[in-house]
Amino acid sequence: MKLKDIAKEEFYRASYGCAGCAAVLMVRLTIKALGKNSVYVVPANCISTVSCYYPQAPFFVPFTVMAFAATAAALSGISAGFRRRGREDIHVVGLSGDGGTADIGIQALSGAIDCGNKFIYICYDNEAYMNTGIQRSGLTPYGAATSTTPSPCFENRPKKDMMRIVAAHDIPYAATACTSYPLDYMEKVVKASQVNGPTYIHILAPCPTGWGFPPDETIEIGRMAVESGMWHLTEFENGEFRTTYTPKRQRPVSEYLATQTRFRHLSPEQIAAIQKEIDAARD
């Protein structure tokens, strides 16, 4: 995919998202990648909060809100319903946040992957419950302060590895992405749409409001996450993981952590420990 191939048409506009919101960018990129022949399920999260209140309608494709824990089950049902009506050509897409995926929605996600219906489940990960005011989720990284893990009692557990969890289901296709790499993400969305079965894409979506950085740095922060090794762009296919993008330069994680107020409290020793984890994962 090339930049010039991206649809000019906007299918999602005029939301109440915060300035610099990567989740809003994720929605725009997703629908541009899939086109009009797609329907969306949005559980409780920032996207539903900033785009679903009647009579507001930023989605120019069919969409429904859904209960927090229920995204994947709804995808499964819609997919089965379309199959019965001979409309398997329609892409059935879930746009769930990190808490809706790794915490309250993980049971339904596991069940739906196991069922095998065709859908694309997108987890946009801003690493905490942002629309309710930055509470920690199962995808909040070690060291981050949130409103339920305030400094100095910051998050003391690592981020759940959702890719390994979905891979353990023998999912036909899964990928990680980041909003700072739109072509990489959109190619993965298109690839997922061509799979006849459940697919999962986990996209890191930096949040200026929750992470504490200026709204014009969203793209740069996402790049730094990848370049520092805090996040990776990968695919899982045919039982194998592979990296889809290796940064040309590797930054020390301290640079990434220093850009965000949520990590401000970390001591040099704690930062060194995070760097050690990253280095160990690289090897």
Binding site for other proteins (CB under 8 A): 36-39, 41, 48, 52-55, 57, 59-67, 69-70, 72-85, 87, 90, 107-108, 110-112, 114-115, 117
CA distance 214 to 232: 23
Nearest approach, Cβ of 122 to other proteins (angstroms)? Answer: 17
> How deeply is 156 buried, as exposed, middle or buried, from its count of CB atoms within 10 A (0-12, 13-18, 19+)?
exposed
The two three-digit tokens of residue 168, written as one number: 């353990």
- Phi and psi at residue 66, to the nearest 5°: -150, 155
Count of beta carbons in the 10 Å neighbourhood of residue 185: 27
Cα dihedral 250, 253, 254, 255 in deg (nearest 10)? 50
Nearest approach, Cβ of 231 to other proteins (angstroms)? Answer: 29
Which of residues 85 and 282 has its CB atom nearest to other proteins in the complex? 85
Nearest approach, Cβ of 89 to other proteins (angstroms)? Answer: 9
Which of residues 2 and 85 has its CB atom nearest to other proteins in the complex? 85
Nearest approach, Cβ of 45 to other proteins (angstroms)? Answer: 12
CA distance 71 to 122: 10
Which of residues 97 and 222 has its CB atom nearest to other proteins in the complex? 97
Count of beta carbons in the 10 Å neighbourhood of residue 36: 13
Under a CB-based contact definition with an 8 Å cutoff, are residues 275 and 162 in contact? no
Which of residues 57 and 273 has its CB atom nearest to other proteins in the complex? 57
Nearest approach, Cβ of 276 to other proteins (angstroms)? Answer: 38
Which of residues 41 and 171 has its CB atom nearest to other proteins in the complex? 41
